[in-house]
Amino acid sequence: MTSTPSEASQSWTLTAGDSPGQVILSGEIDFASAPAVRARLLAAMDCDAKEIVLHLADLAYIDSSGLALFIEARKLLAESGRTIRIADISGQVRKLFRLTQLGELFGLPE
């Protein structure tokens, strides 16, 4: 799943990783971009993978609407017995997960 030309002006990208369930997010997720990111993330979750693995090393910024998006994804996956975790994360985004105490929900060590 790669960005389309119409998304080239977006401040974020969502691409599929090398294996099913791998999702790579980069750029910035805020209130304005969250609906589009949500649609792409939900589409990426529509696979047979038991676990969705987020790669956020190149995600420079995320606000509360982005965090809410990840929490919603976690809830939806849990309803079908699936999980979501963060494999790697940028320092700035890690700080936000630490401040909000949400890191543990996504497998981030404190």
Residue-level pLDDT at 1: 46
Contact (CB, 8 A) for 71 and 105: yes
Both tokens of 98, joined, read 């630490």
Q: Which H or E run contains 83? A: strand 83-89
pLDDT in tens, the chain (110 residues): 444 444 446 899 999 999 999 999 999 999 999 999 999 999 999 999 999 999 999 999 999 999 999 999 999 999 999 999 999 999 999 999 999 999 999 999 76
pLDDT at 4: 44
pLDDT of residue 6: 46
Three-state SS at 54: strand
What's the CA gap between 29 and 67, in Å, rounded? 9
The domain limits of the chain are 5-106
Look at residue 3 in the predicted model and tell me its pLDDT: 46
pLDDT of residue 9: 63
> In the beta sheet, which residues pair with residue 10?
none
**CATH topology classification for 5-106:** Transcription Regulator spoIIAA (3.30.750)
Taking the CB of residue 17, how many other CB atoms lie within 10 A of it? 15
